[in-house]
Amino acid sequence: MNNASKFLDSVLKRIDHPSGLTVYLYKMPGFASNYAIFGTRYGSIDNRFRFGEKIIEVPGGIAHFLEHKMFECADGDAFEKFARYGAYSNAYTSFDRTCYLFSCTDFFYENLQNLLNFVSVPYFTEDTVKKEQGIIGQEITMYDDMPSWVVFINLLKCLYKDHPVNIDIPGTIESIAQITPKLLYDCHKTFYTPANMFLCVCGDFDEDKVVDIIDVEIKGDNAPLPVSIFEKESRSAYKQSFGAVMQVPKPLFAFGFKENPKLSCREIAAKDIAVKLISGECSPLYKTLLEEKLIDGSFSGAFSFGRGFAFTSFEGNSDNPQAVADAVLGEIERIKTDGVDISLFEDIKKGYVGEILKDFDNGEDVAAFICDCACKGFNPAKYIEEIENLTGKDVKDAIDSFFKDAFAISTVTAK
């Protein structure tokens, strides 16, 4: 391993707890705040799965619904318990995970115990579930009125015919109406098993005390791990384009490529660098598009992947979205023909590693990075090592894999 990956491997400790829980401990001596994320590999895409001998299908949005309901406990509200001990707490659900987190300067161990306890012990009633259906229904309506989300989810609806990554994370008003306390309990039992979960703790803490709390709060259940089931997708995009009309000051766009979801850690690292080489702030294309006023500071690109899906996307605002798309496609074809600018590639690679290491000075940022790696199934130090060892050929191969039939564009234009 090179310097950055060696550094991370030496300071980040992984513990495979007897319960099956994967624990990451990152000590930050002298830091005033401590930060923890407790997560499960359960997100909006996990609506059809095999559990033991059974194949189970549940309504869309149930992972997000469960996240909302977990803060309600039999003996009170978990948010109130965190507030009592001076902690900020929150949670989120994405396509492939649900995470619960807190940060605090005092009473860290009391807050950690609260985190592990309330996430592990569900409590639902018919009345509170019905009440939450109304609350989340309002949230769904809010997302439907959010142009930045609409343009993004419409891109996924273009790229994917059957994979549930094309479904809004909160579900629909119709799907959440089907959610019952029993369904919530069943999904919690299935996905909130320690072997399907991870804990990341960052800050200035006593490792033995943390492990002692885990020993008390987390017990192995020997339950089988759920296996999500996805329909086989074509490598081509389902649709080439989709346009929506909303009240916006300037058109929005999201375009990109459907990717092969079965990639190695090295190939994933190459995709991340490829996006920066094509359209990052240091790229020639980015500067040209800015000079021509086709983009503004909102323009960005990213490679995203999870269980059964992978895509590269470019998003932003522009008076001429198609011109931006044509320029990006043109740059991709140029690199395919001319090859990778090795000097620029090396600068981007070093800069990216530097960005990651800079995050290790912030508990929240480093926990998010570790959590992302844990959820995706690879060691954080290994990912950095793969970036460091990338060659121009690796990135050229990543760019060569883009092909026309996998491309789609989504736009939102003004009424």
Q: Is 193 exposed, middle or buried (0-12, 13-18, 19+ CB in 10 A)?
A: buried
| pLDDT for position 356 | 87
Closest CA to 152 of 280, 344, 51, 300: 300
How much is the pLDDT for 4?
66
Sketch the domain layout of the chain as residue ranges.
13-228, 241-414
Long-range CB pairs of 287-290, under 8 A, 24+ apart, other chains included: 288/327, 289/324, 289/327
Helices (H), 73-197: 78-84, 108-120, 126-144, 147-159, 173-176, 181-191
**Model-level pTM?**
0.93
> What is the residue-level pLDDT of the chain in tens, covering all 415 positions?
456 667 777 788 999 999 999 999 999 999 999 999 999 999 999 999 998 888 999 999 999 999 999 998 888 788 999 999 999 999 999 999 999 999 999 999 999 999 999 999 999 999 999 999 999 999 999 989 999 999 999 999 999 999 999 999 999 999 999 999 999 999 999 999 999 999 999 999 999 999 999 999 999 888 889 999 998 999 999 999 999 999 999 999 999 999 999 999 999 999 999 999 999 999 999 999 999 999 999 999 999 999 999 999 999 999 999 999 999 999 999 999 999 999 999 999 999 998 888 888 888 888 899 889 888 888 888 899 999 999 999 999 999 999 999 999 999 999 8
Catalogue the active-site residues: 67
| Among the four given CATH numbers 3.40.50.300, 3.30.70.20, 3.20.20.70, 3.30.830.10, the one describing domain 13-228 | 3.30.830.10
pLDDT at 1: 46
As beta bridge partners, residue 87 has none
Q: Is 1.10.8.350 the CATH classification of the domain at 241-414?
A: no
* Residues present in the chain in total: 415
Collect all residues with Cβ–Cβ distance below 8 Å to 34 and sequence separation of at least 6. Answer: 103, 104, 105, 108, 201, 202, 203, 204, 205, 363
CB 273 within 8 A of CB 386: no
Same fold, 13-228 and 241-414: yes
